[in-house]
Chain A
Amino acid sequence: MKPTSTAAVALASLMLLAACGPKSGGNATASAGGAPAGGAPTSGPDVQMNFSDLPHPRAGLWQNTIDDGDGKPATMTSCLSGKTPTMPKMPAGCSQFSMKRTFLGHIVMDMNCTTPQFTMVMHSEATGDFQSNMSSDATMTMSGPHIPAKTTKMHTEAHYVGPCAPGQTPDDLVDSNAAG
């Protein structure tokens, strides 16, 4: 059996590895504001962050389900080391990248890529506790001089299933794109 598309998995991993903080059903787009008297603040500013600020996903086996809306979600397992995720290689032309943590603990990433052939805009929001679950939603819009604009949505969920096999080298210590 051939594993699923590496590109899709790499993108999903990027989004998943950025997930942190408690899951919340509230509005993730927090704005600056003060705390109401007599209670916890209900909103606050987003905080810029980089990959070294990300929490470490728990070491062990994580099962990922990637759904791009085609009705056939792909499932795969990853053996993670528990070490700090590192920045995957950015495709050519993807110079604009930002990552921030919202007041509610969601991780929001935006990336813009521009080449002579196409423009891609990606927005993703990830959440989870990094110990038992993480999830993300991403929207990518691609367009170009000869490419009609197309928007793709991808939902990814991962949950911890147990320790890696005895003696197994974690995937993220072998993978050239995410070693570390």
Chain B
Amino acid sequence: MPSGVRAAAAPASGPDVQIDPADQPHLKAGLWQFLIGRDGGKPDATTLCLSGKATAMPHLPSCFTPLNLKRTFQGAYVMDATCATPDFTIVAHAVLTGDAGSKISSDEATTTTTPTGPTTRGTMHTDAHYVGPCALGQKPDDVGGPSGGG
């Protein structure tokens, strides 16, 4: 069977594509409700008023740079990162799927090792969906500033 794209059908798979952090999807401006469950526990809910500038991928402390970001053939975003210090090393892996205009889900897993202690693992599952525009005149939560809007 010849290789290459099959006639009259879309390819069933393809390579992952390395992307720049600037190419991450941005969540639609407005209110997003997040349900965050850790280590299989019941989720906590929180709402954010976003500006439209926030990236959908999780933000990590600076020690994790550089991030390895890629987009899979089916549109998922995958992030791998390591934070190594003399006291501990954290390896993080996250996969995000969905539509940054309406609904996303992500799964994160971290493994922490120390020179002396046992290895610990943690997971976090997040579902987020757009619920509507921010309140009239509300300053988005992700634009910074000391006042918080109002």
Residues of A within 8 A of B (CB): 1-3, 6, 9-10, 61, 63-65, 67, 72-73, 75-79, 157, 159, 161-169, 171-172, 174-177
Contact = CB atoms under 8 A, between A and B. Distances in A.
Contacts of B46: 3, 6, 9, 76, 78, 171, 175
Nearest to A168: B131
Q: Is the interface of A mostly helix, strand, loop or mixed?
A: mixed
Contacts of B59: 1-2
A144 to B, nearest CB: 17
Interface of B: 27, 31, 33-36, 38, 41-50, 54-56, 58-59, 126, 131-139, 141-142, 144-150
A177 B150 contact: no
Contact of B141 (A72, A76, A169): A76
B33 A1 contact: no
Contact of B55 (A1, A3, A72, A165): A1
B141 A77 contact: yes
B45 A175 contact: yes
Contacts of B146: 65, 67, 73
A10 B46 CA distance: 10
A159 B138 CA distance: 11
A168 B56 contact: no
A174 B42 CA distance: 9
A1 B44 contact: no
B135 A3 contact: no
Given A161-B138, A166-B132, A171 B148 contact: no
A161 B147 CA distance: 13
B136 A162 contact: yes
Contacts of A65: 146-148
Contacts of A72: 144
A75 B38 CA distance: 22
Contact of B44 (A73, A75, A176): A176
Nearest to B34: A3
A68 B141 CA distance: 17
A6 B44 contact: yes
A6 B50 contact: no
Given A75-B141, A161-B135, A176-B43, A168 B31 contact: yes
Contacts of B27: 1
